[in-house]
Amino acid sequence: MNGRPPLQQVSVGSPLGIIAGGGAMPFAVADSLQARGITPVIFGLKGFCDPEQAARFEHYWTPIGKLGALLRVMRSARCRDLVFIGTLVRPAISEVRLDWGTLRVMPKVFRAFRGGDDHLLTGISRLFEDEGFRLLGVKDVAPDLLMPAGSITRAVPDAQAEADIARGRDVLGALSPFDIGQACVVIDGHVVGIEDIGGTDALLARVAELRANGRIRAKAGRGVLVKAPKSSQDLRFDLPTTGPRTVEGAIAAKLAGIAIVAGNTIVAEPQAMIEAADAANVFVTGLLA
């Protein structure tokens, strides 16, 4: 992608531990690290991390709740710097089988669970920091995976789309203090959907259904999916992610395009995403933060 942000001036230790949830992003980060001469070590969360992909790297497995065991294996692997990335369904604390290392910090765990996802991730990160590790974000360890500023597709936003983008950014800014979602859909100035626990794919599917049912009467090719991190969000964690599936969802929802904040959004499989968008005349554009 042209115009991507330059590498951040953060000294990253090697080996670097990746606490890996589901999806392709943990391995995109690992590949980026390897290309820069940094050794990635995968700490795969059982039930979430892809075993086949993990096998390409030095890797270890850990169930959620076994903090003590995870800390020991991270120390034995000589990983001081960590990044936490990948999809993860928030577990009920009653469903987590705990070891002694977790039990001894249970008050902190309970406090972390009493809030939204950003509160949870920030609270869990402090547990690792208290044990002497440094938590980094994708912005620090793999900035080449971030969205650049400007349109990366042949199509670009027109004046109506620009107005919808502005409205979407205002909406997400207003919702940020409530730790709800990172995306909304605006069509001709009307907010027709806001991301919830179902995520962006579910939001776009709802918009497509509303169009199919005649609840949205705007012409096809109108409206924008707007994505941005929350204003108070710890940008080491849970950055918005966009990829080919997002483009497919936007096409199904008959939107004009996708607008995401440059430098604070991860782009998965950029070439496939651009090709899919260009084939449907859908724009993907990076917004200045």
Q: What token pair was written down for 94?
A: 């009653």
Summary mean pLDDT of the chain? 86
DSSP, collapsed to helix, strand or coil, labels residue 115 as coil
Quick one: pLDDT at residue 131? 87
According to DSSP, the β-strands at 190-194 and 134-136 are unpaired
Beta strands in 54-152 (DSSP E): 58-62, 81-85, 134-136, 150-151
> Distance (Å, rounded) from C-alpha 258 to C-alpha 207?
14
Quick one: pLDDT at residue 11? 82
**DSSP code at position 184:** E
Quick one: pLDDT at residue 101? 56
Q: Are 227 and 242 in contact (CB under 8 A)?
A: yes
Quick one: pLDDT at residue 24? 86
According to DSSP, the β-strands at 58-62 and 81-85 are unpaired
Q: Which residues of the chain have pLDDT under 50?
A: 1-8, 106, 110, 112, 119
* pLDDT tens per residue across span 225-264: 999 987 766 667 667 889 999 999 999 999 999 999 999 8
> Distance (Å, rounded) from C-alpha 9 to C-alpha 150?
23
Q: What token pair was written down for 141?
A: 């360890």
